[in-house]
Amino acid sequence: MPRFCANLSFLFTELPFPERFEAAARAGFRGVEFLFPYEHPAEEIRRWLRQAGLTQVLFNLPAGDWAAGERGLACHPGREAEFRQGLEQALDYARTLGCTRLHALSGLVLPGVAAEQLEATWRANLKAAARRCAEAGVILLIEPINSRVDMPGYWLDTPAKAFALQRSLEEPNLRVQLDLYHAQIMAGDLARTLAQHLPAIGHIQVADNPGRHEPGSGEIHYPYLFRRLDELGYTGWVGCEYKPASTTGAGLGWFAPWREG
């Protein structure tokens, strides 16, 4: 049975952030992820995790000025030092939280910058970051995020591009974070993608399409895909990164058959 973790940037948002950990545990989740931890001291987050008996599964590297619309720095020429500083900050948090997966957002395509330069910058940053993460025992993740609905202009936007780049860098701890919602929008063919690329997948996330709401609210047949993950032998986490159609609790009916304990 897949191991599900709650994304606390999306779920239980009716509660203050510190209270979401216990709420996730009460709902039956054994792990959590979120976008960014950096507004809170790492020691406080570790205390919330321990009190709730939860595993910290994943969070993102700093992504530039998120409020101003930036969505990562990895492909941005001239900001390599900022990317490296963010990586070190993320690794410090990961050590304190016992987190073994970090996601590096690629960033948006920059007007006037050649495609070749964007890719070269991304490659150099990710290769160096993967090796630094390997030293710390951390898996570095890249995620194709749809550029049609949620992040127009996002550089790493299709599963095919992500898997091709992951293979080409040849770093053993660099994997793809496959959000099935984004993959459905950009490519579809989800079951075949999972079967073809499972060894390269380091984390899976779910939401339904359209709307990015809970599984069962749209066109993706998640019961089949969850069974298929078991058949394929996937042992990683499945992150619930969706926007509840109403409240988190009202949208957890889909989770009942998969809840642990």
The residue type at 239: G
What does the pLDDT look like over 89-135, one tens digit per residue? 999 999 999 999 999 999 999 999 999 999 999 999 999 999 999 99
Q: Which of 43, 44, 82, 143 is catalytic?
A: 143
How far apart (Å, rounded) are the C-alpha atoms in residues 60 and 88?
Answer: 12
pLDDT value of residue 102: 98
What does the pLDDT look like over 47-82, one tens digit per residue? 999 999 999 999 999 999 999 999 999 999 999 999
pLDDT value of residue 250: 75
- Report the candidate in 214, 149, 217 with the shortest Cα–Cα distance to residue 185: 149
User: What number of other Cβ atoms are within 10 A of residue 185's Cβ?
Assistant: 20
Active site residue 231: no
**Percentage, residues of the chain above pLDDT 70:** 100
The whole-chain average pLDDT of the chain stands at 96
pLDDT value of residue 261: 55
pLDDT value of residue 24: 97
- The answer to whether residue 1 scores a pLDDT higher than 80 is no
Superfamily for the 3-258 domain? Divalent-metal-dependent TIM barrel enzymes (3.20.20.150)
Which tokens hold the place of 68?
């101003």
Q: Which of 88, 135, 241, 260 is catalytic?
A: 241
Confidence of residue 249 (pLDDT cuts 50, 70, 90): confident
Report the SS3 class of residue 192: helix
pLDDT value of residue 234: 97
DSSP calls for 24-60: HHHHT-SEEE-S--TTS-HHHHHHHHHHHT-EEEEEE
Which tokens hold the place of 260?
């642990």
The torsion region of residue 70 among left (phi > 0), alpha (psi -120 to 50) and beta comes to beta
Active site residue 119: no
Give pTM, 2 decimals: 0.96
What does the pLDDT look like over 19-47, one tens digit per residue? 999 999 999 999 999 999 999 999 999 99
How far apart (Å, rounded) are the C-alpha atoms in residues 259 and 113?
Answer: 47
Which tokens hold the place of 56?
């910290």
- The answer to whether residue 183 scores a pLDDT higher than 90 is yes
Confidence of residue 192 (pLDDT cuts 50, 70, 90): very high
**Percentage, residues of the chain above pLDDT 90:** 94
